Amino acid sequence: MKRTLNSWFSPSLNKEMPIATYGDYGFALLLIPTAAADYLEYERFQLMEHIAGPVNEGKVKVFSIDSINNESWMNNHVDPRHKTYRHQQWNNYVYNEVVPFIRHNTSADTPIITCGASFGALHSMNLFLKRPDLINGVIAMSGVYDLTEYSKGHFDEDVYFNSPMHYMPNLTDHGILEQIRRSHHLHILTGSGPYEDPSSSGRFAKILYDKGIQYELDIWGQDWPHDWNTWKAMLPHYLSTRF
């Protein structure tokens, strides 16, 4: 599998931000790390090995970026308002820097699908729903789509507007809703084993249903916990059968 590492100083985040690229051709899969992890997490846990087939076949080109959760939602030493401010900067980094980088390394018409597991699922879903003009779909694995699960009791406008469970029921902008509805790739996946929360996925799917948004909710059984073995089975299955 072809692998390329790049890095640039991000104006949005005021720090160096690396990105790993895998493959040559296909739609763009933008991987968002779990929790406090980095851009090589999916490689370290062998998920990249499990999707080597579609990457090498030219079905998908993967772009894996850093999170800054340690500087935002998981940083318990700063004011909560700083957490939300830092996360907004990360959103800007993705939209204003990562998306153009992907376009430059694919084409202007190449679909971009966000993907993540656990906390990365929430971020992946949020990135898509906020900017469906830039992002074309999402594969969200084992996510909880309520940001207050991570904000430790803090709730303000920025938490609200980055928490899909909160803002989606009230979204009335026809243009944005129609862009979301045009996506054929809104996949919500979860196991039912230890530390999974399939009821959260179900509640969020109901919100999408009420908005007339097409989605796929796939709840795997109790043999599938909140862990890498689950995600290493889910992602290759979806890349092989849905794209």
The predicted structure's pLDDT at residue 153: 86
Cβ atoms < 10 Å from Cβ of 209: 12
| Fold assignment, 3-241 | Rossmann fold (3.40.50)
**The pLDDT value given to residue 3:** 97
Inter-axis angle of helices 119-130 and 80-93, nearest 10: 60
Per-residue pLDDT of the chain (243 residues; tens, 9 = 90+): 999 999 999 999 999 999 999 999 999 999 999 998 899 999 999 999 999 999 999 999 999 999 999 999 988 888 988 899 999 999 999 999 999 999 999 999 999 999 999 999 999 999 999 999 999 999 999 999 999 989 988 999 999 999 999 999 999 999 999 999 999 999 999 999 999 999 999 999 999 999 999 999 999 999 999 999 999 999 999 999 999
Q: Which residues have a Cβ under 8 Å from the Cβ of 44 and sit 6 or more positions away?
A: none
CA-to-CA distance for 138 and 130, rounded, in angstroms?
Answer: 12
Pairing of β 3-10 and β 15-22: antiparallel
pLDDT score recorded for residue 152? 87
3-class state of residue 19 by DSSP: strand
What residue segments make up the domains of the chain, in order of their start?
3-241
Q: Which two tokens stand for residue 135?
A: 């992002």
Q: What is the DSSP string of 151-216?
A: TTT---HHHHTT-HHHHGGG---HHHHHHHHT-S-EEEEE--STT--HHHHHHHHHHHHHTT---E
Rounded to the nearest 5 percent, the helix, strand and coil shares of the chain are 40, 20, 40
